Structure 1
Amino acid sequence: MRIRSLVVSSLLALSATLGAAQAADPAEQIRERLTAVNDRIEVVAVKASALPGIYEVELGSGEVLYSSESGNHFILGKLFEVRDSGFVNLTEQRQKAMRAEALAALEKEDMIIFSPEGEAVATLYAFTDVDCGYCRKLHNEMAEYNARGIEIRYLAFPRAGVDSGAYDKMVSVWCAEDPQQAMTLAKQGQVPPQAECENPVAEQYQMGVAFGVTGTPALVFEDGSLMPGYVPAERLAAFLASNQ
């Protein structure tokens, strides 16, 4: 009788434990599972995905992964939906929304902005590196972009990271008395006079990483769409006109 009672008690305890596990919040389970492996993983948000039983997990790095309810298995990649009109990248839609929200929260004084004389027909955010050849080509066409009504808002992205010579130059550009002039001189290959101040260069670099920027220039539209690489002013204007 004692043995049977012990078995029954154990089964009841196990059942209660399993029931509690099943009743646990899947989002919390996934957070705990990931951070238990590496406490440096920052889980920003967890929500149900379009796939039954699979959860979308947004990381602080900007990456999106898809996890089982238990958090024991995950997929790092892009989720597509098949529609009559074609394939829809649901992961990119989510990342677009994240980028757009982050851009809308930026302060103008933290960016180096080149605006058209009249009303802007489009505003683009350009992650840039002063030592990047194609960034210099883009800057050389700044008057043409502006003439076509395109406002360019520069964000710092020193490709070699925050412990690089480009980073130091970009801090000096952002801290200059005339950041526009300093940017132009730096894009011409000149070393800007050293200057220091409270600046957003490192923060903008991290934002670029979270956005999925891997090279410069990288253009981001107000809706969060990311267009990597240099695009001549004429072609960019034509693209904008065709997508209005």
Structure 2
Amino acid sequence: MQFKSLMMATTLAVACSQAFAAGNEEQIRSRLEAINPQIQVMSVKDSPIEGVMEVALSSGETLFTSKDGEYFLLGQLYQAKGNGFVNLSEQRKKGFRAESLKALNPEDMVIFSPAGEVKATVYAFTDVDCGYCRKLHSEMADYNKAGIEIRYLAFPRAGVGSGAYNKMVSVWCADDRQQAMTQTKAGQAIAAKECVNPVAAQYQLGQEFGVNGTPALVFEDGSLMPGYVPADRLAAFIEMN
């Protein structure tokens, strides 16, 4: 009887906790949307700090708020551990990126693979009008020679509906995506095409990943490396990690 009562009390406590968390989430969402309807809240959950909630936004930013959503901080959460600091925010984001990459369909990407063994796969958020994206692409043979497979994801920096966005839709809708990507990044015009495509969804995913410029390289473990990296340095980094 005591065990049964204990189980009932535990179940009730968990249910109350879940209901309380749900209430907090709704209250926080309402406050933020009232301030700016364009704010999109992806998730609300407890942070490691008692009494503070962690709010993930569609922009890739993270807010830390009081339980009623009245007070908030924007930034990274660190933990003092041993002789250094651990970036807890990046750790959580890294896990989110890794799981999100696993859920992607390779058929929605533009992939350049080595002729031989694939030693590493790197996801590259790219913009066809970005100078350093074009430089990276011009050295694709070097990346592939080092055993690195590059999987392009679309990130038109000017947003959905921009000139770069329309070019990237044409690339993703082309009969030969690799050729279309190469031509576009060489500054050559390709035939304008439309189809059901992942460009807008990948742009949104990049924002959720915390991408704010291109190229942005994401590794299978969820690590994010912003900017252009030459093939030899990228290969050395992958080998070290």
1:179 to 177, 181, 198: 177
Q: May I ask how many residue pairs the two structures share in their alignment?
A: 222
Show CA shifts across 1:51-102 (max 9, x none). 1211111123322110112211111111111111411111111111222222
CA RMSD of aligned residues (A): 1.8
CA displacement at 1:151 relative to structure 2: 0.7
Separation of aligned partners in 2, 1:195 and 1:23: 47
For 1:19, the equivalent position in structure 2 comes to: none
The two structures have a TM-score, normalised by structure 2, of 0.86
- Superposed, 1:108-127 pairs within 5 Å as 108-127=106-125
Deviations 1:142-182 (A, max 9, x none): 11111111110001111222222211111111111100011
- SS of corresponding position for 1:158: coil
Please name the residue that 1:211 is paired with.
209
1:103 equivalent in structure 2: 101
Give the stretch that moved more between structures: 212-221 or 158-167.
158-167
Q: 1:24 to 1:228 in 2, by over 3 A?
A: closer
Deviation string, structure 1 residues 24-65 (Cα, Å, up to 9, x no partner): 843343233333434443322222111121111112332211
Further displaced range: 79-88 or 231-240: 79-88
**Hey, what does 1:94 align to over in structure 2?**
92
- Alignment match, 1:162: 160
Task: Find the partner of 1:32 among 30, 33, 39.
Answer: 30
TM-score (norm 1): 0.85
**Runs of 5+ unmatched residues, structure 2:** 1-19
Offset at residue 106 of structure 1 (A): 1.0
Q: If you compute each CA radius of gyration, which structure gives the higher value, 1 or 2?
A: 1
Match of 2:186 among 188, 203, 206: 188
Mapping of residues 1-244 of structure 1, within 5 Å: 25-243=23-241
Amino acid at match of 2:133: C
Counterpart residue type for residue 101 of structure 2: L
Contact 2:58 2:207 in 1 (8 A): no
Letter paired with 1:116:
P
Unpaired stretches in structure 1, ≥5 consecutive residues: 1-21
